[in-house]
Amino acid sequence: MLPERLLAGPVALRHFTAADAPRVQLLAGEREVAESTALIPHPYPDGAAAAWIATHESARATGTEFTYAITESGEDVLIGAIGLRPGPSEHESFGYWIGRPYWNRGYATAAAQAIIVLAFEWLDLDELTASHLARNVASGRVMEKCGMRLLRTETRDHRGTPEEFCVRGITREGWARVIGSDAPGQRPRVAETAKR
Ligand SMILES: CC(C)(COP(=O)(O)OP(=O)(O)OC[C@H]1O[C@@H](n2cnc3c(N)ncnc32)[C@H](O)[C@@H]1OP(=O)(O)O)[C@@H](O)C(=O)NCCC(=O)NCCS
């Protein structure tokens, strides 16, 4: 069982609640956020966020997907989302988004590092992969900062148009090297936290 709440540097991860639905629609519904992802609808329909949040518990129970709300550390207000899919999936192992007002503060990197820790240290996975549009430099940078190597590029359908994607991956050994090579003060620290 994965923890319900985690602290990861500047961000905290927790399970979604129904009360997060309006923030999901507001933040993920922005064109600049939705457009870079495979699955977020745009425009974001009324009711879709609540329906999506309602799928989380059964996905967790079957182990198919673990989705976390991202908040700023010490806060409860939703700023983004990250999901880990441990099994084989056409969309790779994890994906994330951060609301536009919160970009470039290191939040996606901290959340992705927390997910990598969960995958290797809690779920005992051997490898994680993720992909991003080649033109999505920020997402590529997030993955690079997590030590994810470029495995290949490929052309895929993206929202109805062929686009170039970068597929990146990290192995358990690669992650151990990332942690080992960082200055101790820079190492990603992930801690399970109690309910507020
Ligand atoms: C991609 C995304 C998650 C990044 O979130 P974030 O919290 O801003 O990411 P971080 O702050 O951890 O890191 C962003 C990095 O990209 C860099 N960056 C951002 N925009 C950039 C650009 N246009 N060119 C070059 N670098 C850029 C930042 O400088 C930072 O790198 P640095 O720390 O070396 O300076 C966010 O932009 C987002 O949600 N985009 C829309 C959805 C999406 O793309 N999801 C991922 C799908 S694969």
pLDDT of residue 180: 83
- Is pTM beyond 0.85 here? yes
Looking at residue 57, what DSSP letter applies?
H
How far is residue 127's CA from residue 167's CA, in Å, rounded to a whole number?
13
- Does pLDDT of 50 surpass 90? yes
Q: Which two tokens stand for residue 86?
A: 């441990």
Residues with CB under 6 A from ligand 1: 33, 36-37, 95-98, 103-109, 132, 136-139, 141-142
pLDDT of residue 192: 79
- Does pLDDT of 184 surpass 70? no
Mean pLDDT along residues 55-65: 96
Mutate to test the pocket of ligand 1, among 104, 109, 137 (most ligand atoms within 8 A of CB): 104
For the chain, give the percent of residues with pLDDT over 70: 93
173 alpha-carbon distance from chain centroid = 21
Give the model confidence (pLDDT) of 117-166 as tens digits. 999 999 999 999 999 999 999 999 999 999 999 999 999 999 999 999 99
- Does pLDDT of 1 surpass 70? yes
pLDDT of residue 190: 79
Specify the residue with its C-alpha closest to ligand 1, atom 27: 138
CATH code of the domain in which 150 resides: 3.40.630.30
Residues 6+ apart with CB under 8 A from 194: 5
Report in angstroms the alpha-carbon separations of 28 from 7, 16, 129, 183, 195. Answer: 22, 14, 23, 34, 25
Domain count, the chain: 1
- Does pLDDT of 195 surpass 80? no
Looking at residue 118, what DSSP letter applies?
I
Confidence of residue 194 (pLDDT cuts 50, 70, 90): low
Looking at residue 148, what DSSP letter applies?
P
pLDDT of residue 185: 52
Structural domain range at position 41: 5-192
Q: Does residue 181 or residue 130 have the better pLDDT?
A: 130
Mean pLDDT along residues 84-109: 91
- Does pLDDT of 43 surpass 90? yes
- Does pLDDT of 167 surpass 90? yes
How far is residue 39's CA from residue 172's CA, in Å, rounded to a whole number?
28
Question: Which ligand 1 atom is the nearest neighbour of the CA of 145?
Answer: 34
How far is residue 98's CA from residue 30's CA, in Å, rounded to a whole number?
11
Mutate to test the pocket of ligand 1, among 82, 139, 165 (most ligand atoms within 8 A of CB): 139
pLDDT of residue 88: 73
Mutate to test the pocket of ligand 1, among 142, 150, 163, 165 (most ligand atoms within 8 A of CB): 142
Is the omega angle on the peptide bond into residue 43 within 30 degrees of 0, that is, cis?
yes
* H or E segment and range at residue 145: helix 137-145
Confidence of residue 182 (pLDDT cuts 50, 70, 90): low
- Cα(139) to ligand 1 centroid in Å equals 5
